[in-house]
Structure 1
Amino acid sequence: MSVELRHYRKGDLPQVRGILLDVYAEVYAAGVEAAGVREADVRGYAERLAEQSAHPAWEAVVGYEEGEPVGFAQGSPLPAGGDDHWFTVRPRPDTEFCRETGFRTFALFDLMVRERWRKTDTAWRIHDNLMASRLEERMSFLVDTDQQGVQRLSEDWGYQCIGVKRPWPDGSDYAVMVRDLRQP
């Protein structure tokens, strides 16, 4: 498979937003039986995407094969003073680890690959391409603790689990994965 990777920045969001929502709908929301629930889930994701992409340094990488989107990764740096991102992590990291400068941690909000392109290294290529463009010291993302395979895969990619957090009051626990971007 020949997957072309394209970078998008904040100003490109209107151009790529529909693609991100369509891939999300297929990867996550399509498994929901009731169409009304699926539409609500996609609307919820659209709202989260609007919040996540508000940072001026937001970035996404989308993979395409013959013009067809196959998956994407998107995220942005944690803002200076955004130490609260770490406050609900159990066990709580030390104060220096939690200190955010606006250039320290890139939060990877999503990494999604459509079914046909899974287990083809496409996810790794998209992730690695996004990671290679970043200047932050580290990258962090959350993995549902029920997805042990995803957590093991991210550990194979050089991430370490530093604890767990519950990002939504009515949600489940997520493993907090962190990778140092200064090391190869």
Structure 2
Amino acid sequence: MQYTLTTDTTAAAGALDDLAALYETVFAEPPYLEGPRDVADFLDRYQREHRTPGFRLALAHDDDGALTGFAYGLPLSSTTTWWNGLIDTNLPPDFTREDGHRTFVVMELAVRADRRGHRIGGTLHNLLLDRVDASRVTLAVRPEAPAAAWYEHLGYNLVGMSRPWPEAPVYRVMLRTLPAAEREPDVRYLWQPPTAR
């Protein structure tokens, strides 16, 4: 298995065809049962999101080059509506305040059905969040999906239930604090050779 992480807009755009094919396959399964309109919505959303500063895309390819899984996310901007759809709780303004760095959102994580159970999802998740510039990470997951319990196992806690748009299903909005050690840049990337005098 080969894993890659990209923050490059051009590379992220070039991956879209493969992402769309895998997305269509994975989210046609229960409990999602998504169809062509949902895939079109994914394509539209991805076209906007991959241009966001701080966007990250993690990919898993089999040794033959076939896309096996992907995860992507981005920071929540100060104008985000992420916290607006909650239907069972009122969060204080200090909790929902965003500045483009405070919270990173995992927008999608998908692994091909025949490759699940091999820690691919966990590796993609960890790669996506590796040294991310945020103090916490959030995501939304269907409560009836097996992934809901998996995210709890990863340390995510329930914030509340959300219906992000009128026709949407209900999602569990979950949050996990990122320890400072996971957020600090690796000093190897900051080192610069001394300049010649």
Shorter-chain TM-score bucket reads 0.7 to 0.9
Deviation at 1:11, TM superposition (A): 3.0
Tell whether the 8 Å contact from 1:138 to 1:179 is kept in structure 2 after alignment. yes
Aligned equivalent of 2:62: 65
Distance 1:44 1:181, change over 3 A: same
* 2:141 aligned partner: 143
Unaligned segments of structure 2, at least 5 residues: 183-197
Is the 8 Å Cα contact of residues 81 and 99 (structure 1) preserved in structure 2? no
Equivalence map 1:5-84=2 (5 Å) = 5-9=3-7, 10-29=9-28, 38-66=35-63, 67-82=65-80, 84=81
Alpha-carbon deviations, 1:60-97, whole Å to 9, x = none?
Answer: 10001111110000111001243x32133230222111
Please say which structure displays the higher CA radius of gyration.
2
Correspondence 1:4 to 2:25: no
Secondary structure of the 2:15 match is: helix
Runs in 1 of length 4+ with deviation above 6 angstroms? none
Given the alignment, which residue of 101, 106, 131 partners 1:108?
106
Unaligned runs of 5+ in 1: 32-36
Whether contact under 8 Å (2:6, 2:12) holds in the other structure is: yes
- On the 8 A contact 2:73/2:128 being kept in 1, the answer is no
Partner Cα separation in structure 2 for residue 162 and residue 168 of structure 1: 18
TM-score, normalization: structure 2? 0.82
When the two structures are superposed, what TM-score results if normalisation uses the length of structure 1?
0.87
Secondary structure in 2 matching 1:18: helix
RMSD over aligned CA atoms reads 1.8
